[in-house]
Amino acid sequence: MLTRTLIAWELTGEAISLAYINLVVAIPMIFASLLGGAITDRVERRQLVIVGQSLIVANEVFILALLIAGRLEFWHMLCTAFVAGCVFPFIMPARMAITMKVVGPQRLQSAMAFQSGAMNLNRVMGPAVMGIIIAQSSFITAYALAAILYGCAVLCMFGIEKSRSSEPGGEKKPLLADIAHGFSYMRQNRPVLICLLFGLLPMFLAMPFQNILVMLAEQAWQAGESGVGILMATGGVGGVLGQSGS
Give the CATH number of the domain where residue 76 resides: 1.20.1250.20
Whole-model pTM: value is: 0.74
* Spatial distance between the Cα atoms of 182 and 94, rounded to a whole number of angstroms: 16
pLDDT band for 96, please (50, 70, 90 cuts).
Answer: confident
Question: How many domains is the chain built from?
Answer: 1
Span of 6-15, 102-111, 174-183, 186-195 with lowest mean pLDDT: 174-183
* Spatial distance between the Cα atoms of 8 and 17, rounded to a whole number of angstroms: 6
What is the extent of the structural domain holding 110?
2-245
Average pLDDT, the chain: 77
What confidence score (pLDDT) does residue 226 get? 64
Per-residue pLDDT at 83 exceeds 80: yes
* Spatial distance between the Cα atoms of 97 and 100, rounded to a whole number of angstroms: 5
What confidence score (pLDDT) does residue 54 get? 92
pLDDT band for 62, please (50, 70, 90 cuts).
Answer: very high
